[in-house]
């Protein structure tokens, strides 16, 4: 990377962060999230998004847009990554489950905030590439599994928080079961080929579930490989 490219990238990153902060404010009346916490902002600042996008998309890495990563999948829009992370509120001792590793970008952001992150991806090539990428970046507190994330990751449960980065027709019951009492699930719910409802679901200490719609979003579908029974 030349100095000029490095300089451009640094200023593009700064502008992107400003955009994400502004967008958080602009959507606060819908999301209830008026500002990003210091921890989330720092994680967004520190994770190099250009390491998660394909070479031909490098110039667009610090634009606030989702980008194609192959196999018909996308790396999420930075604002949505920041918002979903803020809504999940992982604490430093938290064990978090992510469904839909994709590029591993959201995984890396979560890994800076939580104690341990487990992430499930159904496309083997993406799971492998993300595993390699995170290892190259020295992210050590992450484990990636190639499987149907609609089933959660029972061996590693229960989780303090679960984030789903693909759109589910309905909330998979396995995910609710694998959430600790007091835990949160952040998930886009709705049909594919249209916008979905980003929902924050909180499992009360007695197991009672409360759900609130936050924002209209567009995600690729959560594909279920096995029939639901």
The count of residues interacting with ligand SAH (CB under 6 A) is 24
Residue among 210 and 225 whose Cβ is closer to ligand SAH: 225
Q: In 3D, which of 59, 102, 87, 77 has the Cα closest to residue 20?
A: 77
Binding string to ligand SAH for residues 150 to 189, with x set by CB under 6 A, is what?
Answer: x--------------xx-----------------------
**By CB under 6 A, what part of segment 184-223 binds ligand SAH?**
220, 222-223
| Residue 103 CA from chain centroid, whole number | 10
Among 73, 95, 131, 178, binds ligand SAH (CB under 6 A): 73
**Contact between 123 and ligand SAH per CB under 6 A:** yes
DSSP alpha helix (H) spans, the chain: 3-26, 28-31, 38-46, 78-88, 105-113, 124-136, 173-177
**Contact between 49 and ligand SAH per CB under 6 A:** no
How many Cα atoms are found within 13 Å in the side-chain-facing hemisphere of 5? 7
Q: In 3D, which of 193, 187, 199, 201 has the Cα closest to residue 218?
A: 193
Please classify residue 63 by burial: count the beta carbons closer than 10 Å to its beta carbon, then call 0-12 exposed, 13-18 middle and 19+ buried: middle
**Contact between 76 and ligand SAH per CB under 6 A:** yes
Residue among 99 and 214 whose Cβ is closer to ligand SAH: 99
Alpha-carbon torsion (169, 108, 31, 205), positive or negative = positive
Q: Which of 2, 76, 195, 216 is catalytic?
A: 76
Annotation says 37 is catalytic: no
Among 85, 106, 131, 178, binds ligand SAH (CB under 6 A): 106
Among 94, 126, 201, 214, binds ligand SAH (CB under 6 A): 126
CB 153 within 8 A of CB 132: no
Give min distance, CB of 3 to ligand SAH, in A: 29
Query: 3-state DSSP call for residue 143?
Result: strand
**Contact between 99 and ligand SAH per CB under 6 A:** yes
Q: In the complex, which residues of this chain contact ligand SAH (CB under 6 A)?
A: 73-76, 99-100, 102-103, 105-106, 120-123, 126, 148-150, 165-166, 220, 222-224
Catalytic residues: 76
């Amino acid at each position: 990377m030349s100095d000029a490219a490095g300089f451009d990238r640094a200023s593009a990153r700064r502008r992107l962060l400003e955009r994400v902060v502004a967008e958080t404010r602009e959507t606060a009346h819908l999301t209830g999230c008026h500002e990003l916490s210091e921890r989330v902002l720092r994680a967004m600042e520190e994770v190099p998004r250009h390491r998660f996008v394909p070479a031909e998309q490098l110039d667009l890495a610090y634009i606030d847009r989702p980008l194609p990563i192959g196999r018909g999948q996308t790396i999420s829009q930075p604002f949505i990554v920041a918002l979903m992370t803020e809504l999940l509120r992982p604490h430093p001792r938290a064990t978090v489950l992510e469904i839909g590793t994709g590029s591993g970008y959201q995984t890396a952001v979560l890994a800076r905030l939580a104690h341990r992150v487990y992430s499930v991806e159904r496309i083997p090539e993406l799971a492998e590439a993300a595993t390699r990428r995170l290892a190259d970046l020295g992210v050590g507190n992450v484990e990636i599994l190639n499987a149907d994330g609609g089933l959660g990751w029972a061996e590693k449960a229960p989780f303090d928080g679960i984030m789903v980065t693909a759109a589910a027709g309905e909330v998979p019951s396995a995910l609710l079961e694998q959430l600790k009492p007091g835990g949160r699930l952040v998930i886009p719910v709705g049909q594919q080929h249209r916008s979905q409802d980003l929902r924050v679901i909180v499992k009360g200490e007695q197991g009672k579930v409360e759900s609130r719609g936050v924002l209209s979003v567009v995600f690729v579908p959560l594909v279920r490989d096995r029939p639901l029974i």
